[in-house]
Structure 1
Amino acid sequence: MSAATSIEDRITVSCPPSDEETAKLVERIHQIGPVLREQAVIADRNRVLPQETIDALDFADVWRVSTLKRYGGYEGGASMLLEVARTVAYYDPAAAWCVVISNGSVMLINRFSDEVLDEVFVNGPIKAASIFAQPQGTATPDGDGWRISGKWPFASNSSQSDWALGILFIKENESVESQQVGFVLMRRNEFEVQDTWFTIGMRGSGSNTMVAEDLWVPKNRVITFEQLMGNGPEQDPHATFGRRLTPHLTMSTSIQSPSLGAAYAALDYTTDLSRKRAITYTHYKKQVDSGAFVQNLGAASIKIDAARSLLERAAAEIDAVASGSAPMPLERRARHRAGIGHAGHELVDAVNDLCWLHGTAAFAENSLLGRMWRDINTGTRHASITAPMGYELHGNGMTGTDYISTKL
């Protein structure tokens, strides 16, 4: 669908898509599941998603979850993205990571002006990338625009993105005091992608480094941190649902979903093979003959379910709040941040338990379980979802002490 070109065409919605729409997306993902799983091995080896994976995800329609309805998207919230990414991750966690980052980046872009959005989505939904952690660039005034220089590492999905966001310092003048944090929105042909992503997990995410040198962009493609990440749109009763989503908490919740889907894949893999594998140095001809094995398999399953419940709780409240115009209180955000981090710990513990149960074969180079172990242990370490910081944020809310971060 082509983009809206007039104010009258700019559809505004007040709530997330229906469960039925999400279910249809999930069904299409399962249809492409065999392709995703086959190509996941290639993605892991080459450290970037193969074109076959991207084409399959195009077919499944997962890239437009966060695109506003006025531009042909679902205008989905946290729950839709969580469920979609969890399902993709069952077949390929790195592909799911790219789906999350692309849609999360679109969610951030949605906070730019209507004029910018009409340009970005002129041909409909896009693929996107973003870095919103530490400022790693500068925007300096230059005529009717800005001169941009910056280097943004760990930019997942950058290779196949159409547009990307980079966090930087806005330098209105030479005074250090006048600098403020902001974001630049760049077309794919305006930045270079340097091949720097060498890891043991989430390798297929292609989280390389974006670089812009002496790039000129128009004035409206740089906005402040407060405009992009603040709660102004969350209080606007006239804003469309996709703009009222609280950005950081939505990203944190959905970024944990690839590890959730990977954990379910690891669980099913271990369970299926337990009917065929013996337990070395014992009389057990099949792992399922061992009561200890069966008990610990059940325990691992419940850890994964517990993680899912915490993430679904956060996603449901995010969507409910975005359906109104009263921002979520900080103490609730902090509580969810702790729950998201705790979910990661549960997922890591569960996949570790599964590797103990399955045996040394889990760490064969071609083992699906081993790849899930690597992806989960890498993905859950993302800075926005680490448990220690989440626990402390929650403790801040409980005790009334100063929050250790303003990114809630």
Structure 2
Amino acid sequence: MLVETGPTTRTTGTTATTPAHAELVARAASLRDDLRNNAAEADRERRLTDRAVAAVTGSGLMRLMTPKRHGGHGAEVRTLLEVAATLGEGCCSAAWTTGVLNVGNYVVSLFPEQAQREVWGTDPDARTALVLGRPNPGVEETEGGVYITGKWPYVSGCLHADRVGALVLRPGGEGRPSAPYFALMPMADVTVEDTWHIVGMRGTGSNTVVADRLFVPEHRLLPYQPVLRGETDGVVDPANRYRNSLVGIFSIGLLGSLLGGARAAFDLVQEKAGSRPVAGSTYKSQAESPSLQLDLATAASKIDTAWLLATRIAETTEQFAAAGENADTLTRSRARMDSTRAAQLCREAVDLLVTAHGSASFAEVNPLQRIWRDVHVGSRHAGFGMGIPEQLYGRALVGGDPREISLLV
């Protein structure tokens, strides 16, 4: 049962042993039912409940990508995927937020050690929101760092984060061109504009973060393009096993929520099929109808295929990390394509399921309508949409450079 402990409740200190993959997934499963019970409130209030955030954090599930030396789990990418998917079976918004905050912590692990100590020195459960939107140009160079002024919309998890990592465009000078940087900013030093009035993923509270001439010291600024290219030697800790896999980890942090939502929708429709009538027919229940059976089979196949694509991203990331090598652009482009197709398949599966279940799917008391809204919004995240992933993969397949289209590969 989720316990009301307030938004600042944390599990602090380090443990003697790091939890194994199975244990972390089991912890997520133990929260599933209570997250489901909190999901309607999160949707209504447009933010996760403090109970849900405290429970996920207290279970150590915000430490997945935090380095072990700072009290985190340094977990595998597949653990992030399975934890997020399991949480998503209870609440898509909770899973999405957990995924984003863990990916944000991963990005912090790429910063200089001084910045990492500032984040996790006294609190290994510290949470970092992350936004990869267009770099903000409001940067003024000064001694020891920069002053930043700007706005970043769609910052999932900002209502429950300690820090936020956002992209800024650092001006050039003395022969060097302008370049994007990650800027790591304490949430206490920025403001949040209430702009997240969206029909789905409402509980993520993906509002707009605003900085007003905020000083950011040099050690909290990280060049963006070298991280994307895996050219991190001498920039970040070389022991970070996923330092060359930002795009893969980012997509996994989002896909888990969609997979979990699709699974939850499938389970609801399958469970009710034996007791729901088929209007205008002689079938005693939906379960007897060949149409419902075909829809369930097709939806199950779509969800299974989405899972296989997502796990291929995770496994590929693991393989290159273990070898200490960078993936080539074709492999990276394929990962963008895989994540896009997985998101589409989740959406298609949920569409099939709500149609098969009938108009009752859209009753306000039915969780199916919330899952339908969440998956439709989440699957249209910019990382999955606008036709860019298909262009990247197609360009790579004919031997071209996909980075001419987008750096996010």
**Deviation at residue 391 of structure 1 after TM alignment:** 2.0
Instruction: Give the distance between the partners of 2:217 and 2:366, measured in 1 at CA.
Output: 49
Alignment partner, residue 338 of structure 2? 339
Alignment partner, residue 406 of structure 1? 407
**Larger mean Cα displacement after TM superposition, 229-238 or 46-55:** 229-238
Instruction: Give the distance between the partners of 1:331 and 1:45, measured in 2 at CA.
Output: 42
Instruction: Give the distance between the partners of 1:142 and 1:401, measured in 2 at CA.
Output: 40
Any conservation in 2 of the 1:107–1:242 contact (CA below 8 Å)? no
Alignment partner, residue 171 of structure 2? 171
Residues 1:303 and 1:383: Cα distance change in structure 2 (over 3 Å): same
Q: SS of the counterpart of 2:323?
A: coil
Alignment partner, residue 317 of structure 1? 316
**Deviation at residue 402 of structure 1 after TM alignment:** 3.5
Matched, 1:141 2:117: no
Any conservation in 2 of the 1:168–1:181 contact (CA below 8 Å)? yes
Equivalence map 1:2-41=2 (5 Å): 21-41=20-40
Instruction: Give the distance between the partners of 2:345 and 2:89, measured in 1 at CA.
Output: 17
**Deviation at residue 389 of structure 1 after TM alignment:** 2.1
Residues 1:44 and 1:59: Cα distance change in structure 2 (over 3 Å): same
Any conservation in 2 of the 1:35–1:56 contact (CA below 8 Å)? no
Instruction: Give the distance between the partners of 2:221 and 2:396, measured in 1 at CA.
Output: 33
Residues 1:109 and 1:237: Cα distance change in structure 2 (over 3 Å): closer
Instruction: Give the distance between the partners of 1:143 and 1:235, measured in 2 at CA.
Output: 22
**Larger mean Cα displacement after TM superposition, 160-169 or 266-275:** 160-169
Instruction: Give the distance between the partners of 1:85 and 1:332, measured in 2 at CA.
Output: 24
Instruction: Give the distance between the partners of 1:116 and 1:268, measured in 2 at CA.
Output: 44
**Deviation at residue 262 of structure 1 after TM alignment:** 0.3
Residues 1:237 and 1:371: Cα distance change in structure 2 (over 3 Å): closer
**Deviation at residue 310 of structure 1 after TM alignment:** 0.5
Alignment partner, residue 273 of structure 1? 272
Structure 2 gap segments, 5+ residues each: 1-11
Q: SS of the counterpart of 1:239?
A: coil
Number of equivalenced pairs: 393
Q: SS of the counterpart of 1:362?
A: helix
Q: Deviations over 1:308-347 (max 9, x none)?
A: 0000011111011112221011101111211111111211
Instruction: Give the distance between the partners of 1:374 and 1:37, measured in 2 at CA.
Output: 15
Instruction: Give the distance between the partners of 2:286 and 2:175, measured in 1 at CA.
Output: 64
Task: Kindly report the root-mean-square deviation, in angstroms, between the aligned alpha carbons of the 2 structures.
Answer: 2.2
**Deviation at residue 60 of structure 1 after TM alignment:** 2.3
Q: SS of the counterpart of 2:89?
A: helix
**Deviation at residue 35 of structure 1 after TM alignment:** 1.4
**Deviation at residue 387 of structure 1 after TM alignment:** 7.5
- Give the TM-score, by structure 2 length: 0.91
Matched, 1:129 2:129: yes
**Deviation at residue 299 of structure 1 after TM alignment:** 1.4
**Deviation at residue 181 of structure 1 after TM alignment:** 1.3
Instruction: Give the distance between the partners of 1:178 and 1:387, measured in 2 at CA.
Output: 28
Any conservation in 2 of the 1:234–1:243 contact (CA below 8 Å)? no
* Between structures 1 and 2, the one with greater helix share: 1
Residues 1:406 and 1:227: Cα distance change in structure 2 (over 3 Å): closer
Alignment partner, residue 389 of structure 1? 388
Q: SS of the counterpart of 2:138?
A: strand
Instruction: Give the distance between the partners of 1:188 and 1:57, measured in 2 at CA.
Output: 20
The residue type paired with residue 157 of structure 2 is N
Q: SS of the counterpart of 1:182?
A: strand
Q: Deviations over 1:170-192 (max 9, x none)?
A: 1255x998422112111121111
Instruction: Give the distance between the partners of 2:186 and 2:86, measured in 1 at CA.
Output: 29
**Larger mean Cα displacement after TM superposition, 108-117 or 155-164:** 108-117
Alignment partner, residue 285 of structure 1? 284
Matched, 1:69 2:68: yes
Instruction: Give the distance between the partners of 1:255 and 1:227, measured in 2 at CA.
Output: 23
The residue type paired with residue 278 of structure 2 is I
Any conservation in 2 of the 1:234–1:325 contact (CA below 8 Å)? no
**Larger mean Cα displacement after TM superposition, 73-82 or 351-360:** 73-82
Any conservation in 2 of the 1:110–1:243 contact (CA below 8 Å)? no
Q: SS of the counterpart of 2:356?
A: helix
Alignment partner, residue 12 of structure 1? none
Q: SS of the counterpart of 1:405?
A: coil
Any conservation in 2 of the 1:235–1:327 contact (CA below 8 Å)? no
Matched, 1:355 2:354: yes
Matched, 1:252 2:269: no
- Give the TM-score, by structure 1 length: 0.91
The residue type paired with residue 139 of structure 1 is V
Q: Deviations over 1:98-136 (max 9, x none)?
A: 001101111111111112212221112311101122012
Residues 1:131 and 1:238: Cα distance change in structure 2 (over 3 Å): closer
Any conservation in 2 of the 1:138–1:168 contact (CA below 8 Å)? yes
Q: Deviations over 1:258-277 (max 9, x none)?
A: 11100000000000011110
Instruction: Give the distance between the partners of 2:198 and 2:167, measured in 1 at CA.
Output: 23
Shift >4 Å, 4+ stretches: 234-238
